[in-house]
Amino acid sequence: MNAIRPHSDVPPNAEGPSSRGNATVLAIAQGLFTASIAVDLTLTGLTGYQLAPDKSLATLPFAMITVAAAVVTLFASLLMQRLGRRWGFIIGAVTGGMGGLVSVWAVIHGHFWLFCIGTAAVGVFQAFAQYYRLAAADAVEEAHKARVISIVLTGGVIAAVLGPALAAWSRDLMSTVFAGSYMVVALLGFLSALLIGVCYRDVEPTGVLKQDAELPPRPVGVVLRQPISLAALANNAIGGVVMMFTMTAAPLAAVACHHTIDDGANIIQWHLVGMYAPSFFAGRLIKRLGMPAVLFAGMGLSALCGIVAMSSTTLSSFYVALLCLGIGWNFMYVGGTALLASSHRPSERARVQGTAELIRYVLTALATLGAGPVLERYGWTSLNLVTFPLLALAAAMTLLWVRAARRAKAMPANVLSSSR
């Protein structure tokens, strides 16, 4: 991976057993979280329609997940700076479990607004769970960051497939339809809290230069204006916007193209596999080919999604397009996360990571809300055209970092040290 600054005196292969164990624990926790979100993704729209006093509010409960996550994400980072990530992850998971129980009660008693509170609590779970990958990355040397991020995200592979199946299996478990599914959401949250509480241990950031550790924190704006930070935001935020914008509209576009509702659901399921399955090899691919190559490959695959989607509306084209989109997002997300974890000093971690995640959440929430109206007014082809300038912007910001990294690498060490 190209770096903006050299790293510590710690051997480049240093990776403690506690760090490896934490990555495995976080991968399992990621799987539990993804399964709970998949249940909500599958059923919350239907449940909201069933409970809403005004059917135009049917999607509000699911939107509350994203809104709550966006509101809480910066607070979550600051809280974990104070209490440690272990306690933060436990608080997030317990809140998600409580949200599942509230949803059960709301479904049984037909209370729409209480159901919205329950799904918002799951959004709080999401806000904390998004830091699993960063917690794993912070605990290892830069050479290993992409690999442990990939390990954490592999937990989502099986969950992406099993989540919808869990939703279907559990929806009639209790006397009121869908109540059993939200009991599963509660159990997954509490199980995640138990797993983190028993098996996870906070690990201090690894590979930090002594002078960096002693320096005071810089303003967040200064950190985020660095080329490496801009590249991280480009791949995390813009990659997420392109993915959510297209994914949200895809099932609706498939139905409009005379495919069935089940076809739309299957397209999303394969898209989820594309999002998480590359995690088995993305870290190794970055180590072998280099970070820039994998980031640009992710952008290329995301662009290929748009090309395929515009060229044909056959069912196979939808499958290929959404699979490419998922893989492209994964490459950009893993790489962008590794860059973000390398962009700041330890004293800046909470505010920088929290602000970056807040930006990502706000932009992806806007993309989710905008996808339906854009599809309705302009159509599937025009919707896909919108993604190309966004990907071009991501490519430009990434290229800016690549050039800055090369200049820094060519700069004499004493000059680089005095300029810091």
Q: Rounded mean pLDDT of the chain?
A: 85
Q: Residue 2: what pLDDT?
A: 41
Quick: pLDDT tens for 55-97.
777 778 877 888 899 899 999 999 998 999 999 999 999 999 9
pLDDT bracket for residue 228 (50, 70, 90)? very high
Lowest mean pLDDT among 104-118, 123-137, 147-161, 336-350: 147-161
> Cα 35 to chain center, whole Å?
14
Span 358-377, pLDDT tens digits = 899 889 888 877 887 888 88
Question: In this predicted structure, what is the pLDDT of residue 416?
Answer: 43
- What average pLDDT does this structure show over 322-337? 93
* Fold equal for 18-207 and 208-407: yes
Distance set, CA 365 to CA 55, 196, 255, 380 (Å): 21, 28, 23, 19
Q: What is the pLDDT of residues 52-63, one digit of tens each?
A: 888 777 778 877
Query: Where do the structural domains in the chain lie, given as residue ranges?
Result: 18-207, 208-407
> Which residue, 269, 63, 318, is CA-closest to 168?
269
Q: How far is it, in rounded angstroms, from Cα 290 to Cα 295?
A: 9
Q: Residue type at 224?
A: L
pTM of structure: 0.78
| Per-residue confidence (pLDDT) for residue 212, from 0 to 100 | 53
pLDDT of 209 reads: 46
Does the domain made of 18-207 have the CATH classification 1.20.1250.20?
yes
- Pick the more confident residue, 12 or 356: 356
Task: Tell me which DSSP letter residue 238 carries.
Answer: I
* pLDDT level of residue 20 (50, 70, 90 thresholds): low
H-helix segments, 206-314: 210-214, 220-224, 227-233, 239-256, 261-276, 282-289, 291-311
User: Which distant-in-sequence residues (6+ apart) come within 8 Å of 320 by Cβ?
Assistant: 308
Find the range with the poorest average confidence among 292-301, 324-333, 364-373: 364-373
pLDDT score recorded for residue 16: 52
User: What is the DSSP secondary structure assignment for residue 242, as one 8-state letter?
Assistant: H
What secondary structure letter does DSSP report for 324?
A: H
Q: How many CA atoms lie within 13 A of 353 on its CB side?
A: 31
- pLDDT score of 119: 94
For the residues 116-128, what does the mean pLDDT come to?
95
Residues 375-396: tens digit of each pLDDT: 888 999 999 999 999 999 999 9
Structural fold of domain 208-407: Growth Hormone; Chain: A; (1.20.1250)
For 363-374, b/e burial (b = at least 16 CB within 10 A) is bbbebbbbbeeb
Asked if residue 330 lies in contact with residue 279, where contact means CB atoms within 8 angstroms, the answer is yes
What are the tokens at 13? 């292969």
By the 8 A CB rule, do 127 and 72 touch? yes
State the Cα–Cα distance between residues 50 and 58, nearest whole angstrom.
8
pLDDT of residue 19: 64
